[in-house]
Amino acid sequence: MTTSESGNPPKPTPRPGPRPVPRPGPVAPTAPVAPSVPSTADPHRFGRVDPDGTVWLITSSGERQIGSWQAGDTEAAYAHFGRRFDDLHTEVVLMERRLESGTGDARKIKAAASALAETLPTASVLGDVDSIAARLATILEKADTHATEERQRRDEHRAAQTARKEALAVEAEEIAATSTQWKASGDRLREILDEWRTITGLDRKTDDALWKRYSSARETFNRRRGSHFADLDRERAGVRQAKEALCERAESLSDSTDWGPTGAAFRDLLVQWKAAGRTAKDVDDALWKRFKAAQDKFFSARNAVNAERDAEFEENAKAKEALLAQAEAIDVSDEKAARAALRTIGDKWDAIGKAPRERGAELERRMRAVEKKIRDAVTNIGTDPEAQARADQFRVRAEQFERQAEKAEAAGKTKDAEQARASAAQWREWADAAVAALGKKR
């Protein structure tokens, strides 16, 4: 005889064979890896085994045949079908634990519970099937609640992730539209991309739309940056050409000995240099070195000439100091002798030439004081006050033009200096003529 769990009578065999073993009937699928969680239900309470081996399950709805046991004694049948109930019980326990702990997908747990519940009416087990049915019903009910909560959490997570990418897309668009901090902004766009890749959970349509916004912003920024640096390259090329021209002009002036106009020309070239802008640093540094070398060459030569001139002016000052000592010692008691002595000293004074500017004014002041002393010492009989005032006015004007000539000469304005000296000579001549006229009246 062989074992039959379908309730049909066993079929005879033509000859004796080995002792048959029980064949389990169909059961619901179980978890792939799950330790057994034995139930506390006694299989004797929930079933019976007839003497002929028929196995019955007792439920609240009555009895139903679950198999036929021909492989051993009755207790072996209880143990076999009880273990099958334990497997069923284990699946339910695992579903409950995964649902309560939140480690499983509520939708998948619900589907598994529903599938398992459908197998209960035909399950070949001995145990509290009514309890299993009730627990499965509870799982199905809770799974709906958990699924709703999971869906809400997923929606919230999706909304948060969408908001993060939306913020990153907006930032990228702002950078693309306005930023001119090319390096810092380029680095930030790369950081946004790195962060972007860590944000998941969006629906495909929204994710694609946000990616297009970010990608478009990055391309816009790259085009603007490329255009900027292309313009900068063109601008630098123009600056380079302009500064090369300035270098050539400076080099052409470096040997000039026309100190005033050339010095002014170099100052104008420096103003143009500063206004030209900058090119690449290494090129700019090389061009500046070239320009400055030409400038230094000219000003070094001019300074050398000025130093020689200053030495000459210093000697002139010493000579005028000696003449002043003679003038200040003139005896004014003899009018004609005093005037003659002053004229001789004046001729020598004019022949000496210029003294240093910082000393020339003082020397001139002292000489005018000597002239005034001699004039004041002359008797006033027959003197015309208006003529005397006019002579003094002429002398003052001559002194003013002489000072203008000195300033123009120091500034390198040779032409202006010559004109001022000519005017001073003319006024000096008129002053001398006025003084001579006064002498004749006396």
Assessment of whether the complete model's pTM goes beyond 0.85: no
Contact between 240 and 197 (Cβ < 8 Å): no
The three-state secondary structure class of 66 is strand
Give dist(CA 195, CA 310) in Å, integer: 74
Structure tokens at 378: 């002359």
- C-alpha Rg value of the chain to the nearest Å: 60
Q: Which helix (H) or strand (E) holds 49?
A: strand 47-49
The pLDDT value recorded for residue 438 is: 65
Give dist(CA 156, CA 171) in Å, integer: 22
Q: Tokens 């202006």 map to which residue?
A: 416
- Listed in sequence order, the residues at least 6 apart from 209 whose beta carbon sits closer than 8 Å to its beta carbon are none
Structure tokens at 396: 């003052």
Candidates 392, 336, 351, 333; CA nearest to 368 is 392
pLDDT tens for the chain, residues 1 to 442: 334 443 333 333 333 333 333 334 444 444 444 455 666 668 889 999 998 999 999 999 999 999 999 877 899 999 999 999 999 999 999 999 998 888 888 889 989 999 999 999 999 999 999 999 999 999 998 888 888 887 888 888 999 999 999 999 999 999 999 999 999 999 999 999 999 999 998 899 999 999 999 999 999 999 999 999 898 888 889 998 898 898 999 888 889 888 889 899 989 989 999 898 888 889 889 989 988 898 898 889 988 887 877 787 888 888 888 888 888 888 777 777 888 888 888 888 888 877 787 777 888 888 888 888 887 776 443 456 667 677 777 888 888 888 888 888 888 888 888 888 888 888 888 888 877 776 655 5
Candidates 438, 406, 411; CA nearest to 424 is 406
